[in-house]
Amino acid sequence: MDAPGARVVATARRPEESEGLKSLAKAAPAGRLTVLPMDVSDDASVDAAARAVAPDLGALDELVNNAGTYGPRGDHALAAAPDEVRRILEVNTVGPYRVTRMFLPLLRKGSAARVVFITSKMGSIGDAPGGAAYAYRMSKSALNMLGANLAADLRGDGIVCLLLHPGWVKTRMGGDRAPVTIPDSVTGMRSLAARVTLAESGRFFDYSGAPVPW
Protein backbone atom coordinates (compact mmCIF):
# COMPACT_ATOMS: atom_id res chain seq x y z
CA MET A 1 0.00 0.00 0.00
CA ASP A 2 2.95 2.30 -0.47
CA ALA A 3 1.61 3.82 -3.70
CA PRO A 4 -1.16 6.44 -3.38
CA GLY A 5 -4.50 4.84 -4.15
CA ALA A 6 -3.03 1.34 -4.44
CA ARG A 7 -5.36 -1.58 -3.90
CA VAL A 8 -3.93 -4.64 -2.20
CA VAL A 9 -5.05 -8.25 -2.09
CA ALA A 10 -3.60 -10.17 0.86
CA THR A 11 -3.99 -13.92 1.21
CA ALA A 12 -3.37 -16.61 3.81
CA ARG A 13 -4.38 -20.22 4.23
CA ARG A 14 -6.63 -19.25 7.12
CA PRO A 15 -7.01 -15.45 7.23
CA GLU A 16 -9.29 -15.63 10.26
CA GLU A 17 -6.34 -16.98 12.30
CA SER A 18 -3.86 -14.29 11.20
CA GLU A 19 -3.58 -11.50 13.75
CA GLY A 20 -1.34 -9.58 11.36
CA LEU A 21 -3.95 -9.57 8.62
CA LYS A 22 -6.67 -8.62 11.09
CA SER A 23 -4.65 -5.60 12.23
CA LEU A 24 -3.89 -4.64 8.64
CA ALA A 25 -7.55 -4.84 7.70
CA LYS A 26 -8.50 -2.52 10.56
CA ALA A 27 -5.87 0.05 9.61
CA ALA A 28 -6.45 0.01 5.83
CA PRO A 29 -8.54 2.78 4.23
CA ALA A 30 -11.94 1.64 3.01
CA GLY A 31 -11.79 -0.25 -0.28
CA ARG A 32 -8.00 -0.49 -0.33
CA LEU A 33 -7.49 -3.99 1.08
CA THR A 34 -9.08 -7.31 0.15
CA VAL A 35 -8.29 -10.38 2.27
CA LEU A 36 -8.85 -13.82 0.79
CA PRO A 37 -8.08 -17.41 1.74
CA MET A 38 -5.49 -19.07 -0.48
CA ASP A 39 -3.38 -22.17 0.03
CA VAL A 40 -0.44 -22.04 -2.40
CA SER A 41 -0.11 -25.83 -2.32
CA ASP A 42 -3.65 -26.38 -3.65
CA ASP A 43 -4.62 -25.81 -7.28
CA ALA A 44 -8.30 -25.25 -6.54
CA SER A 45 -7.58 -22.74 -3.77
CA VAL A 46 -5.25 -20.62 -5.94
CA ASP A 47 -7.64 -20.79 -8.89
CA ALA A 48 -10.52 -19.65 -6.67
CA ALA A 49 -8.52 -16.68 -5.38
CA ALA A 50 -7.53 -15.61 -8.89
CA ARG A 51 -11.12 -15.89 -10.10
CA ALA A 52 -12.37 -13.93 -7.08
CA VAL A 53 -10.22 -10.86 -7.75
CA ALA A 54 -10.20 -10.85 -11.56
CA PRO A 55 -13.62 -9.20 -12.17
CA ASP A 56 -12.97 -6.45 -9.63
CA LEU A 57 -9.32 -5.66 -10.33
CA GLY A 58 -9.18 -6.36 -14.05
CA ALA A 59 -5.37 -6.16 -13.93
CA LEU A 60 -2.49 -6.69 -11.52
CA ASP A 61 0.62 -4.53 -11.33
CA GLU A 62 2.60 -6.55 -8.80
CA LEU A 63 2.54 -10.09 -7.46
CA VAL A 64 4.56 -10.92 -4.32
CA ASN A 65 5.19 -14.62 -3.71
CA ASN A 66 5.88 -14.61 0.01
CA ALA A 67 4.39 -17.85 1.37
CA GLY A 68 6.98 -20.30 2.61
CA THR A 69 7.90 -22.87 5.23
CA TYR A 70 11.25 -23.87 6.70
CA GLY A 71 10.60 -27.53 7.36
CA PRO A 72 12.49 -29.83 9.72
CA ARG A 73 15.40 -28.45 11.70
CA GLY A 74 18.46 -30.42 12.65
CA ASP A 75 18.19 -32.64 9.58
CA HIS A 76 21.92 -33.18 9.17
CA ALA A 77 23.08 -35.91 6.80
CA LEU A 78 19.71 -36.41 5.11
CA ALA A 79 17.77 -37.06 8.33
CA ALA A 80 14.48 -35.65 6.99
CA ALA A 81 12.00 -38.10 5.48
CA PRO A 82 11.45 -37.78 1.71
CA ASP A 83 7.76 -36.99 2.24
CA GLU A 84 8.73 -33.99 4.38
CA VAL A 85 11.16 -32.79 1.70
CA ARG A 86 8.41 -33.15 -0.89
CA ARG A 87 6.04 -31.05 1.24
CA ILE A 88 8.56 -28.20 1.53
CA LEU A 89 9.17 -28.22 -2.22
CA GLU A 90 5.40 -28.15 -2.80
CA VAL A 91 4.99 -24.97 -0.75
CA ASN A 92 8.23 -23.11 -1.49
CA THR A 93 8.77 -23.96 -5.16
CA VAL A 94 5.67 -25.38 -6.78
CA GLY A 95 3.53 -22.91 -4.82
CA PRO A 96 5.05 -19.78 -6.42
CA TYR A 97 4.94 -21.51 -9.82
CA ARG A 98 1.24 -22.26 -9.30
CA VAL A 99 0.33 -18.78 -8.03
CA THR A 100 2.24 -16.92 -10.73
CA ARG A 101 0.76 -19.15 -13.43
CA MET A 102 -2.78 -18.48 -12.22
CA PHE A 103 -2.30 -14.71 -11.89
CA LEU A 104 -0.26 -14.24 -15.07
CA PRO A 105 -3.26 -13.19 -17.21
CA LEU A 106 -3.91 -10.31 -14.78
CA LEU A 107 -0.22 -9.35 -14.73
CA ARG A 108 -0.16 -9.17 -18.52
CA LYS A 109 -2.89 -6.53 -18.28
CA GLY A 110 -1.05 -4.58 -15.59
CA SER A 111 1.04 -1.41 -15.80
CA ALA A 112 4.81 -2.01 -15.62
CA ALA A 113 3.98 -5.30 -13.95
CA ARG A 114 6.42 -7.20 -11.77
CA VAL A 115 6.64 -10.52 -9.98
CA VAL A 116 8.58 -10.65 -6.71
CA PHE A 117 9.82 -13.98 -5.37
CA ILE A 118 10.86 -13.98 -1.72
CA THR A 119 13.76 -16.43 -1.72
CA SER A 120 16.79 -16.92 0.54
CA LYS A 121 20.58 -16.89 0.56
CA MET A 122 20.25 -20.42 1.91
CA GLY A 123 19.36 -21.40 -1.66
CA SER A 124 22.62 -19.95 -2.98
CA ILE A 125 25.23 -22.50 -3.97
CA GLY A 126 27.79 -19.73 -4.36
CA ASP A 127 27.30 -18.45 -0.81
CA ALA A 128 29.16 -21.18 1.05
CA PRO A 129 26.58 -23.91 1.79
CA GLY A 130 26.62 -24.83 5.47
CA GLY A 131 24.90 -28.21 5.50
CA ALA A 132 21.52 -29.29 6.91
CA ALA A 133 18.16 -27.65 6.08
CA TYR A 134 18.19 -29.69 2.87
CA ALA A 135 14.54 -29.27 1.96
CA TYR A 136 14.55 -25.52 2.52
CA ARG A 137 17.83 -24.99 0.66
CA MET A 138 16.72 -27.17 -2.26
CA SER A 139 13.36 -25.42 -2.49
CA LYS A 140 14.92 -21.96 -2.63
CA SER A 141 17.56 -22.98 -5.20
CA ALA A 142 14.75 -24.29 -7.40
CA LEU A 143 12.75 -21.11 -6.80
CA ASN A 144 15.73 -19.07 -7.98
CA MET A 145 15.82 -21.11 -11.19
CA LEU A 146 12.10 -20.48 -11.67
CA GLY A 147 12.45 -16.72 -11.26
CA ALA A 148 15.53 -16.38 -13.45
CA ASN A 149 13.98 -18.33 -16.32
CA LEU A 150 10.56 -16.72 -16.01
CA ALA A 151 12.29 -13.35 -16.33
CA ALA A 152 13.59 -14.42 -19.73
CA ASP A 153 10.18 -15.66 -20.86
CA LEU A 154 8.31 -12.54 -19.72
CA ARG A 155 10.81 -9.95 -20.90
CA GLY A 156 8.85 -9.50 -24.12
CA ASP A 157 5.74 -8.75 -22.06
CA GLY A 158 7.61 -6.06 -20.14
CA ILE A 159 7.11 -7.94 -16.86
CA VAL A 160 9.96 -7.73 -14.35
CA CYS A 161 10.83 -10.76 -12.20
CA LEU A 162 12.84 -10.13 -9.05
CA LEU A 163 14.37 -12.59 -6.57
CA LEU A 164 14.80 -11.12 -3.09
CA HIS A 165 16.52 -12.37 0.04
CA PRO A 166 14.76 -10.60 2.95
CA GLY A 167 17.61 -11.15 5.39
CA TRP A 168 17.43 -13.12 8.61
CA VAL A 169 14.31 -11.47 9.94
CA LYS A 170 12.62 -11.49 13.34
CA THR A 171 9.55 -13.47 12.29
CA ARG A 172 7.97 -16.69 13.47
CA MET A 173 10.31 -18.52 11.09
CA GLY A 174 13.40 -16.40 11.77
CA GLY A 175 13.12 -16.38 15.55
CA ASP A 176 14.13 -13.83 18.18
CA ARG A 177 17.88 -14.09 17.44
CA ALA A 178 17.43 -12.74 13.92
CA PRO A 179 19.24 -9.39 13.48
CA VAL A 180 16.89 -7.79 10.92
CA THR A 181 13.56 -6.24 11.90
CA ILE A 182 10.45 -6.69 9.79
CA PRO A 183 10.13 -2.94 9.00
CA ASP A 184 13.77 -2.72 7.85
CA SER A 185 13.45 -5.80 5.65
CA VAL A 186 10.13 -4.80 4.09
CA THR A 187 11.16 -1.19 3.54
CA GLY A 188 14.35 -2.28 1.79
CA MET A 189 12.60 -4.80 -0.43
CA ARG A 190 9.78 -2.41 -1.34
CA SER A 191 12.27 0.31 -2.27
CA LEU A 192 14.27 -2.09 -4.41
CA ALA A 193 11.22 -3.58 -6.13
CA ALA A 194 10.00 -0.09 -7.04
CA ARG A 195 13.23 0.96 -8.77
CA VAL A 196 14.43 -2.21 -10.51
CA THR A 197 14.15 -2.01 -14.28
CA LEU A 198 13.54 -4.62 -16.96
CA ALA A 199 17.29 -4.70 -17.57
CA GLU A 200 17.75 -6.15 -14.07
CA SER A 201 14.88 -8.64 -14.34
CA GLY A 202 15.84 -12.10 -13.11
CA ARG A 203 18.55 -10.83 -10.74
CA PHE A 204 19.04 -12.01 -7.14
CA PHE A 205 19.41 -9.30 -4.49
CA ASP A 206 19.20 -9.01 -0.73
CA TYR A 207 16.89 -6.52 0.95
CA SER A 208 19.60 -3.83 0.96
CA GLY A 209 20.04 -4.06 -2.81
CA ALA A 210 23.32 -6.00 -2.70
CA PRO A 211 23.65 -8.76 -5.35
CA VAL A 212 23.56 -12.34 -4.04
CA PRO A 213 25.57 -15.09 -5.80
CA TRP A 214 23.67 -17.96 -7.34
Share of the chain above pLDDT 70, in %: 98
What's the pLDDT score for residue 130? Answer: 86
Say if residue 136's pLDDT is above 90: yes
pTM of the predicted model, to two decimals?
0.93
What's the pLDDT score for residue 1? Answer: 40
Three-state DSSP at 138 gives helix
**pLDDT tens per residue, range 138-152:** 999 999 999 999 999
What's the pLDDT score for residue 2? Answer: 57
Instruction: Show the domains of the chain with their CATH numbers.
Output: 60-206 (3.40.50.720)
Query: Distance between the two ends of the chain, CA-based, in angstroms?
Result: 31
Cβ neighbours of 62 (radius 10 Å) = 19
What's the pLDDT score for residue 73? Answer: 80
Residues 6+ apart with CB under 8 A from 214: 124, 125, 126, 144, 204
Which residues belong to the active site?
A: 136, 140
**pLDDT tens per residue, range 15-28:** 999 998 999 999 99
Say if residue 4's pLDDT is above 80: no
What's the pLDDT score for residue 142? Answer: 98
**pLDDT tens per residue, range 84-95:** 999 999 999 999
Rg from Cα positions in the chain: 17
- When pLDDT is cut at 50, 70 and 90, the band that residue 111 belongs to is very high
Cβ neighbours of 17 (radius 10 Å) = 9
